[in-house]
Amino acid sequence: MRRLIYILPLLLLAACSAEAEPVVEEPVIAEEGITYDIDTSTLDVPYLDYLNDTNPRIAITFENYDPIILELFPDVAPLTVAQITRLVELNFYDGIIFHRIIEGFMIQGGDPTGTGGGGSNEQIAGEFVNNGVPNRLRHWRGVMSMARSSEPNSASSQFFIVHQDANFLDGDYAAFGGVIQGFDTLDALATVETSDQDRPLEDVVMLSVRLLER
Give the per-residue pLDDT at 22.
46
Residue 42 lies in a domain: no
Q: What band does 214 get if pLDDT is binned at 50, 70 and 90?
A: confident
Number of domains in the chain: 1
Q: 25 pLDDT exceeds 90?
A: no
Give the per-residue pLDDT at 59.
97
Residue 166 lies in a domain: yes
107-166 pLDDT tens trace: 999 999 999 999 999 999 999 999 999 999 999 999 999 999 999 999 999 999 999 999
Give the per-residue pLDDT at 8.
45
Give the per-residue pLDDT at 160.
98
Residue 179 lies in a domain: yes
What is the domain-level CATH number for residue 142?
2.40.100.10
Residue 31 lies in a domain: no
Residue 90 lies in a domain: yes
Give the per-residue pLDDT at 204.
98
Q: Which of 126, 131, 158, 157 shows the shortest CA–CA distance to 10?
A: 158
Residue 30 lies in a domain: no
Residue 23 lies in a domain: no
Q: What band does 5 get if pLDDT is binned at 50, 70 and 90?
A: very low
Residue 184 lies in a domain: yes
Give the per-residue pLDDT at 32.
56
Q: 66 pLDDT exceeds 50?
A: yes
Give the per-residue pLDDT at 148.
97
Range of the domain at 143: 2-16+55-211
Give the per-residue pLDDT at 30.
41
Give the per-residue pLDDT at 4.
39
**CA atoms within 13 Å, Cβ hemisphere of 89:** 9
69-119 pLDDT tens trace: 999 999 999 999 999 999 999 999 999 999 999 999 999 999 999 999 999
